[in-house]
Amino acid sequence: MAPDVFKFEGFKMGVNYGFEKIRFISTVPVGSKLRLGAKFLSCEELPNALQTLIELTIELQGSTKPACVAQMIVRNIP
């Protein structure tokens, strides 16, 4: 779902470096409609990459609570 929400350009390669603080808040019934939201939390220059921390929120249609909230670490190589 993430490539439909945001895109990094101008890099040779992007790597999903992992996740932090993953929270599964509510169950997702089969056939549910989901929506992904993203918020950029930080960006840090490393010696050979740019590291970005993005908060992803998976929302469940008809629910007041999200299904999942996680922080994704992305490293982009120039």
What residue type is assigned to position 74 of the chain?
Answer: V
User: pTM (2 decimals)?
Assistant: 0.84
Q: What tens digit of pLDDT does each residue of 39-62 get?
A: 999 999 999 999 999 999 999 999
CB atoms within 10 A of CB 68: 17
Handedness of CA 42, 64, 24, 2 (dihedral sign): negative
d(CA 39, CA 20): 14
What pLDDT is attached to residue 11? 85
Question: What would you report as the CA-atom Rg of the chain, rounded to the nearest whole angstrom?
Answer: 14
Q: What rounded mean pLDDT belongs to the chain?
A: 92
Measured at the CA of 51, the angle between CA 41 and CA 22, to 5 degrees, comes to 55
pLDDT attached to residue 34: 95
